[in-house]
Chain A
Amino acid sequence: MNKLTTLFCGFLFTFVLAWIGLVLVPQFQFGQLQPFVNEDTGESFPPMRSGLAETGKQVYQANGCIYCHSQQIRPEHQTADMARGWGARRSVARDYIYDRPHLLGTMRTGPDLSNAGVRLSNEAWHHEHLYAPQSKSAGSTMPPFRYLYKVQKIQGAGSPDALKLEADDAPPEGYEVVPTPDARALVAYLLSLNQNYSLPEAKLSTE
């Protein structure tokens, strides 16, 4: 083959240039991001998640939620994410420093979840939604996650965590549906999803 050395150098150069642009420069820009500390209140943002919520993040990953739900609010001047009520500001790199791996997602078969803990702060709603999505969201294409729940015989007064279900979704008479530890963790994670704080590089539009 002619000029093999030149060809190889060309490949190497292209690859190195791409690596510099996609890996090295972003590492300089974002690699050392620290949380933002509010001097007056001492709060640090983004907030760290509780242990249960961290476990819930594993459950979120294990169930492939990222394939349908994104967790990134895009800029207001280009997209309707904020107008749709999914967030009060766009997402920035600092929002994800505790997320390893980050769960930005690429698809919105279902709505964006960056601020799910802000606009859907009711724990029972999440359990009922995971068990029977169409009962909470008409026309939803989300599959039910029933294996995260247990149908058990009601004993005594019944469990306080039993889901309140309607008609077709309700278990047979004498039975109740309770969440497994995985479901509790997952809902704790969903309730922790919150980008409703201002950062110097991105201020909330509601301030």
Chain B
Amino acid sequence: MSSEPNPPSDAANEFQEQENPALRGIDYSESTNVNQIHESILREKVDPQEGEEPISLVLIGIIGVTLLFGGIYLGRYWGAFDGMIYDERARSVVAGAATGGGAGAAGAPAAAEDPVAVALKLGKRVYTANCASCHQGSGQGAAGQYPPLVASDYVLQSERRLIALLLHGAEGPMTVKGNVYNGAMPAWEKQLNDKQMAAVATYIRQEWGNNGGPITPEQVAAARVEFASQTKAYNEAQLLAIDGPIVVK
């Protein structure tokens, strides 16, 4: 206890031996001045009791705004809690199953569009999903590892060679635009169907300043049959031996 204007008297000292354990440590007995004792008690605030304090208005406001925001968000994006709707932007439960799950639906082609333009759109998607991780979106590849497709002879020259390469892959050292690459190109025979392979071949022949001609699914189908006996990846010598355009019988 801080100030003691009245030093404790002997009588007061007896009170230090406090029997009541609840008052142990509280030196009310330091002073016999009643006013002073009362002052120290009056300084203490009333202990808060549960259920007796009003909630602050600001808190009510914050909770209200949060509930409002939450309600609007839930209403817009709940999708009826349907486990099959994966696109939270789907506006209705019925449409949800059709439009949910990605931007693929947005690319549904119109009836009478130029087939090359359609192929280019599909080709770009196939390229992004399968080829871009190595040859990069810019078609530049990676030095020493993945050859570039920009102005590459393998892309722009013989269509037969390009499709054979796509179908069965390549292994071992290859020289592209003066640099040697010793990688392993995977085979896409099983991963891509004729339409997809034709689309991606058309895409790489017409993107990044390349000016090759398109390749049709029929050509891919014919090449698939022609090179069906090839089971392993090609090496450079075998690839260079394949030449010329694809002949569709």
Contacts and interface: CB of A to CB of B under 8 A. Distances in A.
Interface of A: 2-3, 25-26, 28-30, 33, 75-77, 82-90, 92-93, 111, 115, 118-122, 124-125, 136-138, 196, 199-207
Interface stretch (B21-29, B57-65, B184-192, B235-243): B184-192
A3 B50 contact: yes
Interface residues of B, number: 41
Interface of B: 50, 81-87, 89, 97, 100-105, 107, 122, 125-126, 128-134, 137, 142, 144-145, 169, 171, 184-187, 190-191, 196, 233
A185 B186 CA distance: 20
Given A75-B102, A201-B97, A84 B133 contact: yes
Given A83-B137, A92-B86, A119-B186, A204 B104 contact: yes
18 contacts: A29-B83, A75-B87, A85-B128, A88-B126, A90-B86, A111-B133, A118-B191, A120-B186, A121-B191, A124-B184, A201-B85, A201-B97, A201-B101, A202-B86, A202-B100, A202-B102, A203-B104, A204-B129
A contact face: mostly helix, strand, loop, or mixed = loop
B186 A122 contact: yes
Nearest to B196: A206
B5 to A, nearest CB: 39
Contacts of B130: 85, 88, 118-119, 206
Contacts of A121: 169, 186-187, 190-191
Contacts of B102: 75-76, 89-90, 202-203, 205
B177 to A, nearest CB: 19
A88 B191 CA distance: 12
B191 A93 contact: no
Contacts of A86: 133
B122 A77 contact: no
Contacts of A83: 128, 132, 137
Contacts of B186: 119-122, 125
A127 to B, nearest CB: 11
A200 B84 contact: yes
A205 B125 contact: yes
Given A85-B129, A200-B97, A138 B86 contact: no
Given A76-B102, A82-B128, A89-B102, A29 B184 contact: no
Contacts of A119: 130-131, 133-134, 186
Nearest to A200: B97
B104 A77 contact: no
A85 B129 CA distance: 4
Contacts of A29: 81-83
A88 B126 CA distance: 8
Given A76-B102, A119-B134, A205 B86 contact: no
Contacts of A202: 86, 100-102
